[in-house]
């Protein structure tokens, strides 16, 4: 395929488009040194591949799906990512918001990302058992249904193998420790590598 050079951003001519991670505190590295976080570990990993690919961490602690939606167009325009790793919804759920709201927001983020030419990996999260089985099942179904509807690679639970291990969780019981970050990355990698394949 031939591409008019004038239509391609300058950085795209010299290196692959980056991966953009749009998430909350679980991806922002809350409570740990930023370089220890799974997103930075991903940056180090992709930086050693040939060709090297950058990772932009646009995650903010406390971020909701509404906040992500408010920021996504500017991020897409600025970074022109090849892939968006979408890790949002936990803070909506922890606030007990009706799940129709994050569903609508995530749908719009996916649509805008695709319109900008980026693939999307959807990352799910679980919430504490005291929220009740109906709400917890609804959140699981939200991620599963969106992945099915848009045919997206899905990470069902970002903290699989981590959340129930006290040694891998901070004292708040919500955020993983630095020692847990390689496992968190391992949970994301299969879906991410699938999405980055030509």
CA distance 189 to 155: 9
Give the other-Cβ count within 10 Å of 145's Cβ: 12
Phi, psi of 85 (to 5 degrees): -95, 110
Sign of CA dihedral 180, 182, 185, 190: negative
Catalytic residue among 25, 54, 61, 165: 25
175 is known as an active-site residue:
yes
Catalytic residue among 7, 50, 77, 172: 172
Catalytic residue among 59, 92, 113, 175: 175
7 is known as an active-site residue:
no
59 is known as an active-site residue:
no
CA distance 69 to 174: 23
**What are the angstrom distances between the C-alpha of 61 and each of 24, 27, 120, 175, 189?**
5, 8, 21, 11, 22
Supply the residues annotated as catalytic: 25, 172, 175
């Amino acid at each position: 395929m031939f591409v008019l050079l004038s239509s391609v951003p300058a950085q795209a001519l010299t290196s692959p488009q980056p991966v953009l991670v749009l998430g909350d505190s679980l991806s922002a590295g809350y409570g740990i040194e930023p370089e220890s976080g799974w997103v930075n570990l991903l940056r180090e990993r992709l930086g050693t591949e040939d060709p090297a690919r950058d990772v932009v961490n646009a995650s903010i602690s406390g971020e909701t799906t509404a906040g992500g939606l408010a920021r996504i167009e500017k991020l897409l325009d600025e970074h022109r990512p090849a892939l968006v790793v979408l890790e949002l919804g936990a803070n909506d759920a922890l606030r007990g918001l009706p799940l129709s709201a994050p569903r609508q927001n995530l749908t719009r983020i996916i649509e805008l990302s695709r319109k900008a030419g980026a693939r999307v990996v959807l990352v799910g999260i679980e919430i504490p058992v005291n929220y009740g089985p109906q709400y917890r099942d609804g959140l699981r179904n939200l991620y599963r249904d969106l992945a099915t509807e848009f045919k997206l690679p899905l990470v069902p639970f970002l903290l699989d193998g981590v959340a129930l291990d006290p040694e891998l969780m901070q004292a708040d019981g919500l955020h993983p420790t630095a020692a847990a970050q390689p496992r968190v990355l391992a949970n994301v990698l299969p879906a991410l590598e699938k999405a980055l394949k030509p």
